[in-house]
Chain A
Amino acid sequence: MARVLVVDDAAFMRKMVSDALAKGGHEVIGQAGNGLEAIEQFRDLRPDLMTLDITMPEKDGLEALRDVMEIDPGARVIMCSALGQESKVLESIKLGAKDFVVKPFKPDRVIEAVAKALA
């Protein structure tokens, strides 16, 4: 079981991701709706794992990922975005993300990504 921070600008997606995580036996300890909130909450909560959307207001997910990896180079982050372009996937992985889940996804895909990231 992991303590997870869920980041997405859409309340609907936060719910979908949270439901999938709960199904996989994980605990959602925080939710954030943009990159700035995400960094703040990451600092406060120090989650085991974080899911991160890319297209978000204030600060997008790739910028947030860069900041989070600076705060904690060991951070486990799974990108969760509708932008499936290879350049986004490569950039995320280069920045240190553990996995990339393209929306729309099935709950099992999230659970599987989390299991892999924690392994």
Chain B
Amino acid sequence: MTQDEAIIRLAETTAAALSELLEMFAPGQVSVGEVGIVGSDQDPLEDVRAPAVATSVSYVDGVTGGNVFVITKEGARRLAAAMMGAEPAEPEPDQPVELDEMELSAISEAMNQMMASAAGATTSVLGTEVEISVPETRSFATPDEALGAYERAPHATRVAFSVCGEPARFVQLLPNAFIVRMTSALDELGAEYTAGDDGPAGESSETPSLSGIPVRVWAELGRARLPGAEVVTLPTGAVVELDRQADEPVELYVNGKAFATGRLMVVNGTDWAVRIETVFNVPSST
């Protein structure tokens, strides 16, 4: 995988995580637009619509890198209202939009939650835990103010969003070390499992015609072996010990075949999910 492909893949994965979260706050009012690489002669916040608010969260520990979400003040006001479960008040004509402390805090919290989810996605690709910093929020009255607001990085991506009918932009500022790790991690993943890969042509994938068929997927926490007599006499409240430690990965099965290992996690506050850690080799003949 080339560096640019890895960078775009990262931007797309992150944008998907962001959009999923924004959808929870503002259902049906979020769309993802163009995903692109920012040229070395461009400012990542070039041509951003203002007045706007920008929230930044950095990756720390596992990898370093900056993430900035910029949205017009009007968009921020509407998103904050959606997060609070309220209808946004009609904007005053000819009056500049001002955000109060609670609205700013809501936007900063939205970014915190979006980046926590994106860090989760990045963690699963890199195989190292990625931590995030506390969000920082600032305002730009004009597009010019936004230029140079964030330290340049060797690589940057930008993704266009539309949120509550207003334009927003997500920017990732990526140091070289991040790109190198990302590229090799994606290559490893690609080498382990190419089926279903929507990557560049040339990497053979034999399953496109079967790709629409639903398959049963389940996760296995662990197993136990007990004498039949013991099983039939198990009382309510009995504890059956499984053969796996609580901090070991769980196994994911597809139609009866062990397919991957992963970590249990909670999504949407209540639902179990599995974050894939290792995908087993899939024989190309099946």
Contacts and interface: CB of A to CB of B under 8 A. Distances in A.
Contact of A82 (B80, B83, B112): B112
B120 A84 contact: yes
Interface string A78-119: 000111111101100000000011111110010000000000
B247 to A, nearest CB: 6
Contacts of B25: 104
A103 to B, nearest CB: 5
A10 B112 contact: yes
Contacts of B24: 104
A85 B120 contact: yes
Interface residues of B, number: 35
Contact of B265 (A11, A16, A55, A85): A85
Contacts of B76: none
Nearest to A100: B266
B113 A82 contact: yes
A25 interface: no
A57 B266 CA distance: 24
Nearest to A106: B269
Contacts of A12: 80, 83-84, 102, 105-106, 108-109
A87 B133 CA distance: 17
Interface residues of A, number: 27
A79 to B, nearest CB: 11
B105 A86 contact: no
A57 to B, nearest CB: 5
A10 B109 CA distance: 6
A55 B134 CA distance: 6
A90 B109 contact: no
B45 interface: no
Contacts of A43: none
Interface string B268-286: 1110000100000000000
Contacts of A57: 134
Contacts of B132: 55, 83
B129 interface: yes
A102 to B, nearest CB: 5
B267 A9 contact: no
Interface string B101-118: 110011011001100110
B21 A84 contact: no
Given A12-B106, A55-B134, A109 B270 contact: yes
A86 B119 CA distance: 13
Contacts of A81: 116
Given A84-B117, A89-B265, 10 more contacts: A56-B134, A83-B116, A83-B119, A83-B132, A85-B265, A85-B275, A86-B263, A86-B264, A89-B266, A105-B269
Interface of B: 21, 24-25, 80, 83-84, 101-102, 105-106, 108-109, 112-113, 116-117, 119-120, 123, 129, 131-134, 246-247, 263-270, 275
19 contacts: A10-B112, A12-B80, A12-B102, A13-B109, A55-B112, A55-B133, A56-B134, A82-B112, A83-B120, A84-B117, A85-B120, A85-B275, A87-B129, A90-B246, A90-B247, A100-B266, A102-B268, A104-B113, A106-B269
A-B pairs, 5 with minimum CB distance? A82-B116, A105-B269, A12-B105, A10-B109, A12-B106
Interface of A: 9-13, 15-16, 55-57, 81-87, 89-90, 100-106, 109
